[in-house]
Structure 1
Amino acid sequence: MDSYDKMRLLYLGLLIAVILGSLLMRSGGRIGHLLRQAGLWVVIFSGVSFGIATLQGDLIFTSQNQTVLDDGRIELTMQRDGHYYLTANVNGAPIEFVVDTGASHIVLTQADAKRAGIDVSTLRYIGSASTANGIVRTAPVTIQSLQVDDVTDKNIRAVVNGGEMNGSLLGMSYLNRFEKIEISQNRLVLTR
């Protein structure tokens, strides 16, 4: 769940709390009436949300942004924030990456590195990288396995970012393993 999803969840939670609070105050303590009103609002809100999502072509509850085609190509759908995301198993742990052609390497957040079984307390931050937020320290690591669908790559060089990041990056050191990277009509297709 990225920060956009967390904010949307927080917004929906606050909206539901306001509606339920309003209904409770108006009902004068009649719980049965309150539950009927709450159910009606849930149906109305769900219908409107579904309608808006359908019009935008992005169903909220069935967002599938990564598809492996029959010929092995990986197709990613551009997300609302303008990025393409790819989920790969890193040392057996699912990690969501931003596909970033501007990044030289695979860059893991500290949290994702931990999830992948890397002991971040022993890392030596001896490298540096220039980012939009300035210079950050990086620690070189070796990913034992990186798997996307049925393709597994072994002993992949990557770095762990010593600073704060919103998500891990899948940079050119990995993307160069693909024969072709094609972007067309809000779709990114990776071909081996």
Structure 2
Amino acid sequence: MSTDQIMQLTYLVLLGAAIGGSAIVAGRSNMGKMAQQAAIWALIFVGVIGAYGLWEDIRQDVNPSQSMVDARTITVPRGFDGHYHLTLDINGTAVPFIVDTGASQMVLSRRDAARAGLDPEALDYSMAANTANGIVRTAPVTLDRVALEEITDRNVPAVVNGGAMESSLLGMTYLGLYERIEIRNGELVLMR
């Protein structure tokens, strides 16, 4: 331990002793209740430390996310909203997608396209797409590198949506790169 660490520890011990001493003096007429409250706070403290230590083990149950089963298989749990959410690495940037088997293209929002290194203002929105909200203009692009966990593809075709869009959509141009797509037990399974 360095001198600074010893001094910090000494300060914390003295501060704790001062706070504890003042609590004892203030509650000396009702020591039983004070001991009960101290025990409750100690249990809360131990519980927080335990949850922090076990967070990596329980995170998948609390907030499920995609995971690689083997070198060719990825599983994706259904989200709380009923959709399957995937995060792909596009040109070195993590981009969240909603899986949409009804979309023929991989569709990037303007915001996600910019994050992935494309300039949405410089794109040619020469194509049109029929959506549930009507016809929107789209710009064809080719993504240099798209990675899902350890599976990497190069020169992947996609489009950038010219209109407002909450989330990027993972459509069939990308999903079609997989040999098998299956939904079972609330999980989307992608196999190469």
Q: Match for residue 178 of structure 1?
A: 178
- TM-superposed CA distance for 1:187, in Å, is 0.4
Structure having the larger proportion of residues in helix: 2
CA distance in 1, matches of 2:176, 2:66: 19
- TM-superposed CA distance for 1:71, in Å, is 4.3
CA distance in 1, matches of 2:145, 2:71: 22
Q: Which amino acid aligns with 1:170?
A: L
- TM-superposed CA distance for 1:64, in Å, is 2.6
Q: Match for residue 106 of structure 2?
A: 106
CA distance in 1, matches of 2:166, 2:65: 18
- TM-superposed CA distance for 1:146, in Å, is 0.2
- TM-superposed CA distance for 1:94, in Å, is 0.3
Instruction: Kindly report which structure 2 residues correspond to 1:84-163, keeping only aligned pairs within 5 A, or say none.
Output: 84-163=84-163
Measured at CA, do residues 163 and 174 of structure 1 come closer, stay the same or move farther in structure 2, by a change above 3 Å? same
CA distance in 2, matches of 1:62, 1:152: 28
Instruction: Kindly report which structure 2 residues correspond to 1:47-62, keeping only aligned pairs within 5 A, or say none.
Output: 62=62
Q: TM-score, with normalisation over the residues of structure 2?
A: 0.68
Contact 2:103/2:172 (8 A) holds in 1: yes
Q: Once superposed, which parts of structure 1, at least 4 consecutive aligned residues long, lie more than 2 Å away?
A: 58-62
**Secondary structure at the residue paired with 1:145?**
strand
CA distance in 1, matches of 2:68, 2:152: 14
**Secondary structure at the residue paired with 1:82?**
coil
**Secondary structure at the residue paired with 1:121?**
helix
CA distance in 1, matches of 2:71, 2:148: 14
**Secondary structure at the residue paired with 2:121?**
helix
Give me the CA root mean square deviation: 2.5
Per-residue Cα deviation, 1:37-85 (whole angstroms, up to 9, x for no partner): xxx9xx7xxx9xx9xxxxxxx9699413201012431100001111001
Q: Which amino acid aligns with 1:189?
A: V
- TM-superposed CA distance for 1:140, in Å, is 0.7
CA distance in 2, matches of 1:61, 1:178: 27
Q: Match for residue 77 of structure 1?
A: 77
Aligned pairs, number: 142
Q: Match for residue 166 of structure 2?
A: 166
- TM-superposed CA distance for 1:112, in Å, is 0.2
Contact 2:71/2:150 (8 A) holds in 1: no
CA distance in 2, matches of 1:81, 1:59: 18
CA distance in 1, matches of 2:94, 2:82: 22
Contact 2:129/2:138 (8 A) holds in 1: yes
CA distance in 1, matches of 2:149, 2:110: 24
Q: Which runs of 5+ in 1 are unaligned?
A: 1-35, 51-57
**Secondary structure at the residue paired with 2:70?**
coil
- TM-superposed CA distance for 1:184, in Å, is 1.0
Measured at CA, do residues 91 and 59 of structure 1 come closer, stay the same or move farther in structure 2, by a change above 3 Å? closer
Contact 2:77/2:186 (8 A) holds in 1: yes
Larger Rg: 2
Q: TM-score, with normalisation over the residues of structure 1?
A: 0.68
